[in-house]
Amino acid sequence: MTKKFNIFITGGAGYIGSMLVTDLVKIGHVVTVLDNLTYTKNSLSHLKKKKNFKLIVGSVLNKTLMKKLIRNQDFVIPLAGLVGAPLCDKYPKLAKSVNLSSIIFIRKCLKKSQKVIFATTNSGYGIGKKNKFCTEKSKLNPISLYGRTKVKAEKEIMKFKNSISFRLATVFGKSYRMRTDLLVNNFVWEAMKSKKLILFEPHFRRNYIHVKDIVQVFIFAINNFNRLRSNVYNVGLSSANLTKLSLAKKIKKKIKNLKIEINNNKNDPDKRDYFVSNKKIEKKGFKAVFTIENGITELLKTYKSSKFKILNNY
């Protein structure tokens, strides 16, 4: 029988958070969520009657509240953040406060016995070498304010011994708090809506992972914390190291009349270009399993639903 823990999650109503919180509550952990509900107020409404779930509406910048909430937790999972380069560029001061300063404060509040699982992005690799996979030992070279805040936050959190950091691949899939601005989700949305995809710099590479696999790696970390602690891990689907053009072609297999156009006269504002190795976490016993193909099918079904609403970050 799995041991039940007190788990505190910031940003738990978000794209990843709402899925993770749902599964943790289902398992039987006592989950407390802090979220300011900026983008949605209903992503956790299905958990309202659960005795082992508590939602507190508030900000991670409220230090008095944060101290109080962290105090009696076994695990702290800080997911709150301004996510993505465009949003951070729009609100740079807030991005630094939420993505970095709040993480430094969390680290200072933690007792030695407490455990923290941090989620960052593998966008910190920036531009990788053409014929080489980025590993956890690769030099970090973030090319956006978002990437820089997350890289610095990871460095801070790893000063705490009882910590794990997951460098997540680009996420895709259905969530209680849906987003269509993420690359796979966006490509499928545009392909379905206009039957056309216009690609800038189609050779740019990226690794991907389904949101359900991210949930599973957090559960894996909770159950195997001592084997994983004090380490950083890339977390992605190893069969989904793809160029943008390869991704578009996979979508075309599901939408037969899709036209793929390449625009060589425009640069991609997101300059990330790398393939990522996930061998380190796989050797510990976790492997992502939800395929890009199944994700595309799931997304098409989701978008065609009459209940679907776009709720992006910006």
Average pLDDT over residues 279-291: 98
Which of left, alpha, beta for 241 (phi over 0: left; psi -120 to 50: alpha)? beta
Nearest to 78 by CA among 197, 160, 184: 160
Residue range of the domain that includes 83? 6-171+208-236+277-289
> For the segment 121-167, what is each residue's pLDDT rounded down to a tens digit?
888 887 777 778 999 999 988 888 988 999 999 999 999 999 999 99
**3-class secondary structure, 59:** coil
205-210 and 30-35: which strand pairing? unpaired
Asked, for residue 177, whether it belongs to a domain, the answer is no
Asked, for residue 248, whether it belongs to a domain, the answer is no
Say how many domains are in the chain.
1
Asked, for residue 308, whether it belongs to a domain, the answer is no
> What number of other Cβ atoms are within 10 A of residue 96's Cβ?
17
CATH of the domain at 14: 3.40.50.720
> For the segment 223-236, what is each residue's pLDDT rounded down to a tens digit?
999 999 999 999 99
Distance CA 146, CA 275 (A): 19
Asked, for residue 33, whether it belongs to a domain, the answer is yes
Asked, for residue 29, whether it belongs to a domain, the answer is yes
pLDDT of residue 112: 95
Answer for the pair 119, 168: CB distance below 8 angstroms, yes or no: yes
Rg from Cα positions in the chain: 19
Asked, for residue 30, whether it belongs to a domain, the answer is yes
pTM for the model: 0.94
> What number of other Cβ atoms are within 10 A of residue 54's Cβ?
14
